[in-house]
Amino acid sequence: MAAFLILDSISLATPDGRSLFDGLTFALGRERIGVVGRNGCGKSTLLRLVAGDIEPSGGSLQRIGRIGMLAQLVDERLAAGEALGVADELARLHRIEGGEGSLDDAADADWTLPARIQAALIDAGLPSLPLHRPMISLSGGERTRVALARLLIEAPDVLLLDEPTNNLDADGRRAVAQLLERWQGGILVASHDRALLERVDRIIELTPVGVAMFGGAWPAFAEAREAARDRAEADLDHAADALRNTERTLQKAREKKSRRDKAGRAWRAKGIEDKMFMDREKERAENSAARESRLASRLIGERTEALEASRARVEILTPLAIDLPRSHLPGGRELLGFKDVAMAFGERRLFGPLSFDVRGPERIAIRGANGSGKTTLFRLITGELAPSRGDIDRRTDRIAVLDQHVSLLDPRVSILDNLRRLNPELTANEAHAALARFAFRNRAALQIAGTLSGGERLRAGMACVFARPQPPYLLLLDEPTNHLDIASIEELENAIASFDGALIAISHDDAFLRAIGIEREIVL
């Protein structure tokens, strides 16, 4: 298979010199490679390198094919033809057809372009899109399809996708998935979308302990990752045993030496040997003790370093375990009732009439296209908005909302200050204890909220919500995985698995919804 892209021993660093990763080597041909890793590990930086925007810290890169990148945000002020990048070329053809073209127009004209545009729009799922239509009038999924159509027209050899399904509804996600299936060149995709990663041929994982390449898609990667975690746990146990055994052996040696020294002092006290002989024995013993002490220090140091290295590897590979406080929600407790609820803003109707109940620890997903009113529905549930018509029976005030930006946090102050602002009845010690349950211990609790990663911000928000004297009966999650890396998503899934209250989630992430045990869906 001919390669469009060859990376040899690539190293990348941040602008301030912090190393991201070293020794990345691979070739990309007509295949799909996924790039995964925690936020900040260098996924987007790697794509920028391949695109030619930056240079590596070390190693070499060969671009044998043409490179294209999927636009994440399409300027909504443009018309569709401008967003496709074909407006100027089509204008040239129109001038020629109207008898107004110049010699340069004739020389540069591409008469295959109209047919290629139509073929690209058909493949992207927009066969009848007028090129004069404003982008602002299109849905999020339709805008993504326009960006995909542009790539189909340009037809680069290598396609770069950076978190391509972020903020997309089901329609947009399908469009990206179809692109992966149909693309005839090479694809390098950085993503936390596990459904998308199920469609790749190989996965590159970037971690603080090195770079790894896995053959196969997400299921094979997940299996290999679990095996690596098991090995790391076994190595940690082995290192801990080795340290304990070394300490026991050295303790026995010290006790044996102490007995010999005691016997030697007894001999000297009885005057059994002459003074010169006893002095030589004492000097020999002291030298031996010094050697044994140095050996003991070296062995303990080596075993301790091995233990710390094993512990660090386990911490890197294993997601945090967060045990949420119990809400003790009774199984038959009625929490919420919607009866013939409709919502509109002026002439714009969002949804309705909508009727449903929430009873006991149910798990419900809210489905709908972007702009269908899912977040508005949450604002109705909390009482922030009143419905245009219909009745809402809110039978508890123990409701908490966590959105994708965790907007309940003030980004200007520390995690601790946020928690105490939202839970003023807590003492300083109680606030620190509440944060420690979510892995914000000691100085970590003093981090400014605006400096946190997506996963840290979500953990901090959960700490603030579950620090209340009465944990929520009903937890509302609004696209919680949008800005999280896979490890942080798994931390959230594991935490939600232990939650005994009711849950309503807005999400287009099917893997997440399956993991948290969704029982029914409400479609807007």
Question: pLDDT for 383-401, tens place per residue?
Answer: 999 999 999 999 999 999 9
pLDDT higher than 60, residue 314: no
Which three-class secondary structure state does DSSP give residue 163? coil
pTM comes to 0.77
The verdict on residue 404 lying in a domain is no
Q: Which domain holds residue 76?
A: 5-224
Question: pLDDT for 107-161, tens place per residue?
Answer: 888 899 999 999 999 888 888 899 999 998 887 778 888 988 998 899 999 999 9
Q: Which of 293, 317, 341 is the last residue of a domain?
A: 317
The verdict on residue 300 lying in a domain is yes
Pair (489, 340) in one structural domain? yes
Assign 286 a pLDDT band (cuts: 50, 70, 90).
low
Pair (334, 457) in one structural domain? no
Pair (130, 274) in one structural domain? no
Query: How many folded domains does the chain comprise?
Result: 4
pLDDT confidence of residue 310: 64
Distance between CA atoms of 239 and 267, rounded to whole angstroms? 42
Q: Which of 317, 344, 365 is the last residue of a domain?
A: 317
Whether 61 contacts 158, CB under 8 Å: no
pLDDT confidence of residue 360: 95
Pair (354, 205) in one structural domain? no
Pair (29, 73) in one structural domain? yes
Which three-class secondary structure state does DSSP give residue 182? helix
The verdict on residue 406 lying in a domain is no
The verdict on residue 307 lying in a domain is yes
pLDDT confidence of residue 284: 61
Percentage of the chain beyond pLDDT 70 is: 90
DSSP-derived letter for residue 403 is: E
pLDDT higher than 70, residue 447: yes
pLDDT confidence of residue 241: 80
Assign 269 a pLDDT band (cuts: 50, 70, 90).
low
Pair (381, 232) in one structural domain? no
Whether 488 contacts 496, CB under 8 Å: no
Whether 442 contacts 464, CB under 8 Å: no
Pair (437, 518) in one structural domain? no
The verdict on residue 167 lying in a domain is yes
Task: Give 364-377 as a DSSP string.
Answer: EEEE--TTSSHHHH
Q: Which of 224, 252, 286 is the last residue of a domain?
A: 224
Pair (171, 301) in one structural domain? no
Distance between CA atoms of 348 and 326, rounded to whole angstroms? 41
Q: Average of pLDDT values for 220-230?
A: 82
pLDDT higher than 90, residue 228: no
DSSP-derived letter for residue 73 is: S
pLDDT confidence of residue 448: 95
Distance between CA atoms of 455 and 487, rounded to whole angstroms? 8
Pair (293, 375) in one structural domain? no
The verdict on residue 403 lying in a domain is no
Pair (488, 339) in one structural domain? yes
Assign 291 a pLDDT band (cuts: 50, 70, 90).
low
Pair (463, 477) in one structural domain? no
> Lowest-pLDDT range, 188-197, 241-250, 271-280, 412-421?
271-280
Output the domain CATH number for residue 515: 3.40.50.300
The verdict on residue 43 lying in a domain is yes
Pair (86, 155) in one structural domain? yes
Q: How high does pLDDT run on average in the chain? A: 87
pLDDT confidence of residue 276: 55
Question: pLDDT for 29-55, tens place per residue?
Answer: 999 999 999 888 899 999 999 999 999
pLDDT higher than 70, residue 483: yes
Assign 102 a pLDDT band (cuts: 50, 70, 90).
confident
Assign 238 a pLDDT band (cuts: 50, 70, 90).
confident
